[in-house]
Structure 1
């Protein structure tokens, strides 16, 4: 498994000296395997290697242990592959690896949520070095288009009471947000986490080809929008994606870690399993937002349209009729 590391680049706008040591974080980019034992072994190797490089936090891709299900619409029992939050294999993998390495492990799972519609939650978790669950966030925004029929599998996370929780786990000296994949396209998500005081936002991801438009490579757009949201909200972005072919979707890897200045600190290839490790100077968030004070100069009194209900007849805005979602 390829390993790439990056040390902390120089701050570009430091005006107040930092007394915080850099935080070394890692991620694992993997290819799904049908053999559960083989898959678990590969992920465990990735976590171990990141920890061996000094990472104190290791992050894994979306629905870590499952074949990506949503390349086709769900059948009558969409939640068949869902698991209990702390009683299933994903938590077991994260907890065992966290205890063995003395690190925090972030993972993602299809969480059971018994209800008449059979849907579950797409849930990100954080496990402490003691093997305890210390954070959980359910994916808020759910894709609905061709190759990503997630609305037939996943229920959207609740908007109340706290849809954008920020965690400061004891022993890590960092404030984290844990949204998931499709959430990464929305500037509102990054801004809400930033206003909640997050320094690092982790986006477990499963994204790749567009089955209806196989010649349309969305990888550059995907990366640009995440990096841009990190810039405009002053965030470090940690983005572990999958690689390899799964059904109708070929995942394009390209996992990366970026900083608030928009610098991609380290990046994985498109088509190879990899471990990325980077040192984060978290006070660079303060440095950047002191020079470009986006949060201070906001005009929330002018943003009413952003919180109005979605007009399903005119989702593209006033004067534009809706087109059909590509299925």
Structure 2
């Protein structure tokens, strides 16, 4: 894996001196391997590299240990791929690496869930240097279109405490952990921002569009995440996977951005990589003092945003519903 690092970006609008030291974080962009031991070895090597670079927390892509399942619709036994939250291989990987290196390790798994619908949860976890689970967030928004048939594998996360913000002891940061499709929704970033988050981590699995193979969504994907960081004053940490997996070719390009919209460090499209960046977290405060989006909101005017989705008019008044591309 290549290693790409970024020093703290200078604060362009500092009004009050900061006493917080930069937080060094890292992500691992990896390629899935059919041999489970080989895959774990590659991920542990990436985590070790990040730890050797001084990262205090390392973040891994969506459904870390599985071949991305949802390029094809799931069948009756789709949940056979699921694992227990703390009793499966993903937690074991994160906990072992966290203890070995004395750092926080984040990962993503297909979480087994009780029920008769044959579905589980798409769940992000954060493990402490002691190997303890200190954060769990279930993906809220579930894609339903060609190549990303996640509704046949995953239930949406619950509406109770949907946007948890974690401030684990030993890590001077407030972190939210939504997942992939959640990153397209400005409401998600805003909810986390109002909950006090400074960093959003989006474990991701995104790549080609099977029905439109010449359409490259990578620029749009990055632009919307960076923009949501700007309008909500957030650092964005986005670990994607890379390589061909069935119907989808994942385009890597993992990145870390800041509230000013600067991409601090970015991985290539076609290589495994470890990204390391120092985050000056008080730049969230600086930016929101200069552009006080949160202070000047008008929630009293946002009625349509909180109405139930009308399947007959999902695009709004005056626009007929059309079929999702399958």
Class of the TM-score when normalised by the shorter of the 2 chains: over 0.9
Cα distance in 1 between the residues matched to 2:156 and 2:2:
35
- What CA distance in whole angstroms lies between the structure 1 residues aligned with 2:208 and 2:266? 19
Consecutive unaligned residues of structure 1, counting only runs of 5 or more, are none
- Determine whether 1:133 maps to 2:133: yes
| Pairs within 5 Å for 1:131-170 | 131-160=131-160, 162-170=161-169
Q: Secondary structure at the match of 2:286?
A: helix
Displacement of 1:77: 1.1
Q: Distance in 2 between matches of 1:152 and 1:75?
A: 7
Offset, 1:9: 1.0
The aligned counterpart of 1:186 is 185
Cα distance in 2 for partners of 1:13, 1:311 equals 43
- Deviation string 1:146-203 (CA, Å, 9 cap, x unpaired) is 000000000000011x100000000001000000000000000000000000000000
Structure 2 CA distance for aligned equivalents of residues 236 and 131 of structure 1: 25
Distance 2:209 2:114 in 1: 31
Task: Tell whether 2:38 aligns with 1:38.
Answer: yes
Distance 1:57 1:295 in 2: 28
Question: What is the Cα deviation at residue 267 of structure 1?
Answer: 0.2
Partner of 2:98: 98
State the 1:78 CA deviation.
1.4
TM-score, normalised via structure 1 length: 0.99
List 4+ stretches of structure 1 deviating above 2 A: none
Q: What TM-score, normalized to structure 2?
A: 1.00
Mapping of residues 171-320 of structure 1, within 5 Å: 171-320=170-319
State the distance in 2 between where 1:185 and 1:3 align.
27
Aligned partner of 1:15 in structure 2 is 15
Shift of 1:114: 1.8
Tell me the SS of whatever aligns to 1:70.
helix
The whole-number CA distance in structure 2 between the counterparts of 1:115 and 1:244 is 34
Unaligned runs of 5+ in 2: none
Q: How many residue pairs end up in the alignment?
A: 326
